Amino acid sequence: NAGVTQTPKFQVLKTGQSMTLQCAQDMNHEYMSWYRQDPGMGLRLIHYSVGAGITDQGEVPNGYNVSRSTTEDFPLRLLSAAPSQTSVYFCASSYSFGGWNSPLHFGNGTRLTVT
Amino acid sequence: QQQVKQSPQSLIVQKGGISIINCAYENTAFDYFPWYQQFPGKGPALLIAIRPDVSEKKEGRFTISFNKSAKQFSLHIMDSQPGDSATYFCAAVGNAGNMLTFGGGTRLMVKP
């Protein structure tokens, strides 16, 4: 099993450009989520999904869109990149919302720089 | 406003020493408290977790201490090794269907 696969690993964008960060999991997990990691801020939840066709906003959703058409895939779209979106992005999947017997399985991240 | 506050942000410990990372929370609905470990270039991975019905959980050199009345919990790494050098995140979640909330992270360096 590959687990959670994120692509690309690195990306540089100019302000105003759009792009999609890809995330795929092969563990048949219903829950998938996107976090951004910034120094001193920990991991902040952007969007999450509890199953195909169902998404919801997290703590910092502005400037990002998600969709969940299949159980396996959960892409994150940046509509118009801003320097404040420079960060490391992590996708995670789990059986449930990260509680007992439902640990989050993370991908290895996408490092995004917006100039 | 972080719901889970973690300290210190960085920590340097000599090999063989004890590493201690502290976390505090406000939301009394939280009922599960995991710690995640992250190595450079990798995503975080679950290290150890505790529920509030116990005050301590130990797995090898890693121990979580939990103080429900103070709404605080901490990670102790005994006999710290250079291989323990990583970023550690505390986290909390309740049963209301919200996703896991993470603390700000602690970057641990264990010097040989």
Nearest-CA distance B71 → chain A (Å):
18
Closest CB to B95 among A58, A99, A104? A99
Closest CB to B32 among A42, A44, A100? A100
Tell whether the torsion through CA atoms of A79, A83, A85 and A90 is positive or negative.
positive
Do the chains contact at B41 and A100, CB–CB below 8 Å?
no
Do the chains contact at B97 and A92, CB–CB below 8 Å?
no
Closest CB to B93 among A37, A50, A97? A97
Q: How far apart, in Å, are the Cα atoms of A10 and each of A21, A46, A72, A109, B47? A: 10, 19, 22, 9, 27
Check: CB of residue B45 under 8 Å from CB of residue B36. yes
Do the chains contact at A41 and B104, CB–CB below 8 Å?
yes
Q: Which has the minimum average pLDDT: A30-34, B3-7, B16-20, B91-95?
A: B91-95
Question: For residue B1, what pLDDT is reported?
Answer: 54
Q: Which residues of chain A have pLDDT under 50?
A: none
Do the chains contact at B41 and A108, CB–CB below 8 Å?
yes
| Mean pLDDT, chain B, integer | 93
**Nearest alpha carbon to residue B48 among B73, B83, B11, B13:** B73
Q: Which residue type does B33 have?
A: F
pLDDT tens sequence across B20-61: 999 999 988 888 999 999 999 999 999 999 998 899 999 999
